[in-house]
Amino acid sequence: MAVRKISPLEMRTRKKVAENIRWMLDEHDVTVLQLASKAKVSKSQLFNLLLCKSSPSTDFLSRIAHAFNLEPAALLE
């Protein structure tokens, strides 16, 4: 099985999303497990996203953003 090479742009996007989610976790005093539960997403998916090991789907971003009462685009800024 071949490993897909990640472009620099994709890696920057992954890092920005992870950074924004970590900031929101701190700002709202919420744990990763609490966020996963509130957003109804897999804990492992969320941990992989925070470690920049995966790219989030639009649905995943929407669930996370709405758990913080944000628009999904806010996680990309």
Per-domain residue ranges of the chain:
8-76
Predicted local distance difference test score (pLDDT) of residue 17: 96
Query: What tokens does 73 get?
Result: 């685009």
By three-state DSSP, how is residue 61 classified? helix
Residue located via tokens 């992989």: 48
CATH class entry, domain 8-76: mainly alpha
pTM (two decimals):
0.89
pLDDT at 1: 65
- pLDDT per residue as tens digits for the range 25-62: 999 999 999 999 999 999 999 999 999 998 889 999 99
Please check the confidence at residue 2 and state whether its pLDDT lies above 80: no
Q: What is the pLDDT of residue 6?
A: 87
CA atoms of 53 and 28, how far apart (whole Å): 24
Rounded distance between C-alpha atoms, residue 34 and residue 77, angstroms:
23
